[in-house]
Amino acid sequence: MNKKYLLIFIFTFILNTNIPANAEKYSENVVTITVASQSYDYNLPWQKLSVQKDTISGIVIDENHILTASHKLIDHVLVEVSKFGEYRKYTAEIILKDYQCGLALITVLDKEFFSGLKPVEFNTHGSARDNKALLARWDNSGILKTHQAEYQKSSIEFLDSSGAVLIHHMISDIDVGGKGEPVFVNGRLAGIALWHSSKTKTVKAVDVTVIERMLKDLQSEKYNGMPFFNIEDAPLENDKNLREYLGLKNEDTGILVINVPPETSGYNILKKNDVILSINGVDLDDNGLYISAKYGKLAYYGLIYLDHFIDDTIRMKIVRNKKKMDIDFKLKQFSNDSLLIPTSSYDSPPKYFITGGLIFQELTKEYLKIWGEEWIGTSDKRLMYYFDNYTKYPTPEQKRIVILTAALPASVNVGYHSMKNLILRKLNGQNVKDIIHLKDLLDKSNDKFLEFDFTGEHRIILNRNEAIKSTNEIIKRYRIQNPYYIGDGK
């Protein structure tokens, strides 16, 4: 045999057989998902960015369904899957993307794909901290690799500020992770990796109970998603004066309610200065923690989110006006209108409105991300102040925070070309509630001038007729298809 072809044969044989012994048993469970996505350009909200591709992992959970991380499918345009480290790709369809719990479910219409694959077993009765965990994924060479993960701790964390999930923190030598890699304990699925830090070697994985909850919800006639319960609270700790003021006895422990937003479950039932002593019969300590048999102390939100669904009843024992009492309320569904500054605005174009070359948008977490991966430290400090410190919840007077993001240079707005990232408060003396309200105010205005008042005493004055007439010319000059998008295809 020719030496060249002999080397190729040997290399191919090694490639096809070099699956580590501890990884081989997972080769029929783990698949590779290739995602092509095209996100919206929040600098120029009327257009999209270039198409990006990413490779993530998935796990077969039954005869025709694959589980992965939802945040890796944002703004997807094409999803393909492959098995056994092969290069052949099959077109996939997304059944569900739930950003509140961080999980997504996909399928492949070509049933040939699932030939040779087996559903994974869930680690339902075990714990992620029982033994050494393993993360598995196919690498670019078609080899299934496993990486050990050492359990550190568990916590209840909010994804996108609207869904609390059980997260496990682990230390792993995996170089690239947080892309839907399945986490195995004792050969069974214990979670899905959602986040990874190459600096600290930390992996965050959502627990299998969150997966089971999502799948149970999916079995109902309509998938409702996670409930919405989010109050402002404060620990009691050892503040003797506060405890006496609230009427608590020495043995009483719990968490103090500071505010109950109007959009949350329990509004009009829970009240400010209530002390929550227990939830569904489980006692809380003075930091709002409860004891989990598997994972130790967890935040009380776990008693509401981990095994409850929309319309389930939550029962609490509280102290109100120095008297103990029992209350109950039903869990409500999360709505995008529940937050003043949306933390998730995925898979839909950003709302914007242009008049006289001024570009207005609603402040969102996605807009802040235009400053890059380190946006928390590098984005505009004025906007971050509102994101960090301003009330999280809308009111009838303010449903969204509207900002001037830029001014397209034109003769009608001379003198204002450098103004950007300003919080809009009023138009012609009237408070602006959201981007829809801004457009409505301008459309109905009969004033000669448009007076835009911004936080920090900034102001823009435009001639109303000139601003309206110039808008069509400006959008043609800058090749903008439409001067506004305010949602629902408008």
Q: Is the CB of residue 135 less than 8 Å from the CB of residue 72?
A: no
270/355 same-domain check: no
Confirm if 95 and 106 have CB atoms less than 8 A apart.
yes
The answer to whether the CB of 412 falls within 8 A of the CB of 466 is yes
Q: Is the pLDDT of residue 89 over 90?
A: yes
How far, in Å, CA of 256 to CA of 69, rounded?
35
Handedness of CA 304, 307, 308, 309 (dihedral sign): positive
Token pair recorded at residue 70: 């939802």
Residue 377 in tokens: 């430290």
Distances (CA, A) of 265 to 120, 233, 283, 352: 35, 15, 20, 31
User: DSSP readout, 388-444?
Assistant: HHS-SS-BTTBSS-EEEEEE---GGGTT-TT--SEEEEEETTEE--SHHHHHHHHHH
Task: State the number of CA atoms in the 13 A half-sphere of 104 facing the CB.
Answer: 26
Is 267 among the domain residues?
yes
Domain containing 451 equals: 339-485
Residues 6 or more apart whose CB falls under 8 angstroms from that of 39 comprise 48, 49, 52, 74, 75
| 258-306 confidence digits (pLDDT tens) | 999 888 999 999 999 999 999 999 999 999 999 998 899 999 999 999 9
Please check whether residues 194 and 52 belong to one and the same domain. yes
pLDDT at 338: 78
The reply to whether 112 falls in a domain is yes
Domain end position, chosen among 195, 218, 241: 218
pLDDT tens track for 398-436: 999 999 999 999 999 999 999 999 999 999 999 999 999
Check which CATH number belongs to the domain holding 275 and give it.
Answer: 2.30.42.10
Report yes or no on whether pTM surpasses 0.85.
yes
Give me the residues paired with residue 97 across strands.
Answer: 104
Decide if 274 is inside a domain. yes
Q: How many domains does the chain have?
A: 3
Domain boundary among 218, 244, 267: 218
Q: For residue 223, is it within any domain?
A: no
Residue 2 forms part of a structural domain: no
Judge contact between 452 and 425, C-beta under 8 A.
no
Q: Are residues 193 and 66 in the same domain?
A: yes
Q: Could you tell me how many helices (H) and strands (E) the chain has, helices first? A: 10, 28
Residues 6+ apart with CB under 8 A from 415: none
Closest by CA to 342, choosing from 100, 180, 103, 72, is 100
Residue 24: pLDDT over 90? no
- Position with higher pLDDT, 406 vs 126: 406
Q: Do 68 and 153 fall within a single domain?
A: yes
Q: Is residue 9 part of a domain?
A: no
Q: In the beta sheet, which residues pair with residue 484?
A: 353
Those residues whose C-beta lies under 8 Å from the C-beta of residue 446, and which sit 6 or more positions away, are none
Instruction: Kindly report the number of other CB atoms within 10 A of residue 108's CB atom.
Output: 20
More confident: 68 or 386: 68
User: Hey, how many other C-beta atoms are within 10 angstroms of the C-beta on 89?
Assistant: 16
Calculate mean pLDDT across residues 193-211. Answer: 94
